[in-house]
Amino acid sequence: MIEIEHLTLGIRGTPILDDVSLRIEQGEIFGLVGESGSGKSMTALSVMGLLPRGTTINGAARLDDVDLLTLREHDLRQIRGNDIGMIFQEPMTALNPVQTIGDQVAETLLIHDAADRAEARRIARDRLDRVGLSHIELDRYPHELSGGQRQRVCIAAAIALHPRLLIADEPTTALDVTTQAQILDLLKGIVAEENMALLLITHDLAVVSDMADRIAVMQNGMIVEQGETAQVLRDQVHPYTSALFAASAHQPDRTEPAQSDAILSLRDVHRHYPGPRQGFIRGDPVRAVDGVSFDLQRGESLGLVGESGCGKSTLTRAILGLDPVTSGQIILNGAEISPAMPRARRAQMQVVFQDPYGSFNPRWRVDRIIAEPYFLLDAPPHGIDRDDAISAALEAVRLSPGDALKYPHEFSGGQRQRIAIARALITRPDLLVLDEAVSALDVSVRAQILDLLADLQTEFGLSYLFISHDLTVVRAITDRVLVMQAGRIVEQGETQAMFTAPQHPYTQSLLAAAPRLPDDIGERHDALV
């Protein structure tokens, strides 16, 4: 139905795509897998005719017999929304915050003159019911919905006109695992029901392995492998495919056993926020953290897992001594943590954040960025000692000392995360809080960072508190895992035990929802076909 032939594309002389050919049939789910910068989004945008200015393009993208690349803007507008719908990664920004969700779903219908206003609203209601939002009114605004609900609204808008091809660009990357599983299920159901084709773009091989009929693996603007899903997963003809495969199941070597000596202890920690205002009265306080207690042993890696809104971010800020606790105690190395604690105590603990792009002041050079925690020391090194310490920190994270003179934008996401780790190590802390530190990274980069963290733990005798929404990420690097739900720890235990025999229903649902690559390809083959 849709066929891309020998698509070659460059932007201002930089080659982006090189001889990309693929074919998607009616009713088929096609997975396009690759890491960031591999050109998978550009492939989709060229089908939609939404390429940036200054693009040179060769080849063809045929919808039936029409070559989309030769169409003019006016004709392309007839096709977008009508024949091809698209949903994006970030449901927070893909919706207009000042329009109701009903209007946004109806918009597609009105633009294409497919219905009058009343009819469009009726269809919008119907589509929203279809994506599982029958309990949500049409006049709600995007900010009143959760991330998963917003993505459902995007899907409702994309399928409003029953397009024949739906393009989903990383539709679940910004979502929690259980929500991700629901959205993927929904997409699968819609594709079967409407007999449409789905082009599913993702960096996560595990997401497509369960869903796609066929997959193509992209690297550096080229499709390096393409075929039936089961066959690609079994054969892994191209080394890049097997590298992707190995990376997503990567387990760093860790040796250092934990000592039984608590470095961080939480005792019945509560953090409540004032409830929402209802007229002049405030509602009941929100118990973001509701009585959390645990110990983190010296040299241990402890995972803290929970989905958005479970209170783990609030807890993290309290542990870092940025926000006060309502009641309870947080003890680090025998001394209590609070926003007013002395700087020397702060220096014993550092943090690495999720977003490799927002973690650094873009106007600061790397040496200044890395040396910022020196502010915590009474006598920070100066001159050559300071330069040496910065070089040592950069070398510890496997970057070169010369990188100290560059600016953050000159580095890739994985390199930036190394810089963030170097900054966290400069004061030689005992405890490193890793707040979704690898969640934003591609699988192969993630594997490298996990290896680095394992090495650094041995090298510097670090203890890790690994906070994540994704159980599979913490599996590789932690000794023990805490599962958090609605402000409470609902289950804790050894990582391996937790994965093989989860006790709490919430843990079980988290594990069940996580997309997984088949463990044994030969065995899985039959199931997939």
Partner 1 sequence: MNRLPFTLVVGAIITAFFVGTALLSLVWTPHDITELEISQRLQPASATYWLGTDQFGRDMVSMLMEGSRTSIAVALIAVGLGIVVGVPLGLAAAAARGSLLDEVIMRGNDLIFAFPSLVIAILITAVYGPSATNAIVAIGIFNIPVFARVARGGALPIWTLDYILAARTAGKSRARISAEHVLPNIANLLIVQATIQFSLGILAEAALSYVNLGAQPPTSSIGKMLAESQTMIYSNPSLAVLPGLAIVIMVLGLNLMGDGLRDALDPRLRRARG
Q: Of 59, 68, 34, 51, give the one whose Cα is nearest residue 221.
A: 34
Nearer to partner 1, 374 or 499 (CB): 374
Q: Closest approach of Cβ 362 to partner 1, in Å?
A: 7
Nearer to partner 1, 223 or 420 (CB): 420
Question: Residue 331 burial (CB < 10 Å; 0-12/13-18/19+)?
Answer: middle
Q: Closest approach of Cβ 306 to partner 1, in Å?
A: 19
Helix then strand count (H, E) for the chain reads 19, 22
Q: Of 121, 126, 76, 129, give the one whose Cα is nearest residue 103.
A: 121
Nearer to partner 1, 453 or 481 (CB): 453
- Nearest-angstrom CA–CA distance, 83 and 119: 20
Structure tokens at 1: 């139905």
CB-based contact 450:250 (threshold 8 Å): yes
Nearer to partner 1, 254 or 346 (CB): 346
Residue with tokens 């040796």: 255
**SS3 state at 445:** helix
Q: Closest approach of Cβ 411 to partner 1, in Å?
A: 14
Nearer to partner 1, 87 or 421 (CB): 421
Nearer to partner 1, 135 or 363 (CB): 363
Strand partners, 219: 222
CB-based contact 424:434 (threshold 8 Å): no
The single-letter DSSP state of residue 28 is -
Nearer to partner 1, 13 or 334 (CB): 13
Nearer to partner 1, 88 or 353 (CB): 353
**SS3 state at 253:** coil
> What is the pairing mode between strands 335-336 and 327-332?
antiparallel
- For the chain, the 3-state helix, strand and coil shares in percent, each to the nearest 5, are 40, 25, 35
- Nearest-angstrom CA–CA distance, 84 and 79: 6
Cα dist from 92 to 86, 130, 147, whole Å:
15, 21, 7
Q: Closest approach of Cβ 317 to partner 1, in Å?
A: 8
The single-letter DSSP state of residue 404 is G
Q: Of 425, 454, 421, 461, give the one whose Cα is nearest residue 437.
A: 421
Q: Of 479, 438, 445, give the one whose Cα is nearest residue 462.
A: 479
Nearer to partner 1, 353 or 464 (CB): 353
Q: Closest approach of Cβ 14 to partner 1, in Å?
A: 10
Residues that bind partner 1 (CB under 8 A): 12, 54, 320-322, 343, 346-347, 349-351, 353-355, 358-363, 372-373, 375-376, 420, 423
Residue 5, Cα to own-chain centre: how many angstroms?
31
Q: Closest approach of Cβ 177 to partner 1, in Å?
A: 23
Q: Closest approach of Cβ 252 to partner 1, in Å?
A: 24
Q: Closest approach of Cβ 367 to partner 1, in Å?
A: 15
Q: Closest approach of Cβ 45 to partner 1, in Å?
A: 16
Nearer to partner 1, 358 or 402 (CB): 358
Cα dist from 359 to 120, 276, 353, 366, 392, whole Å:
44, 31, 7, 12, 21
Structure tokens at 496: 């391996």
Q: Of 232, 195, 174, 188, give the one whose Cα is nearest residue 32.
A: 232
Q: Closest approach of Cβ 170 to partner 1, in Å?
A: 21
Q: Closest approach of Cβ 355 to partner 1, in Å?
A: 5
Nearer to partner 1, 219 or 427 (CB): 427
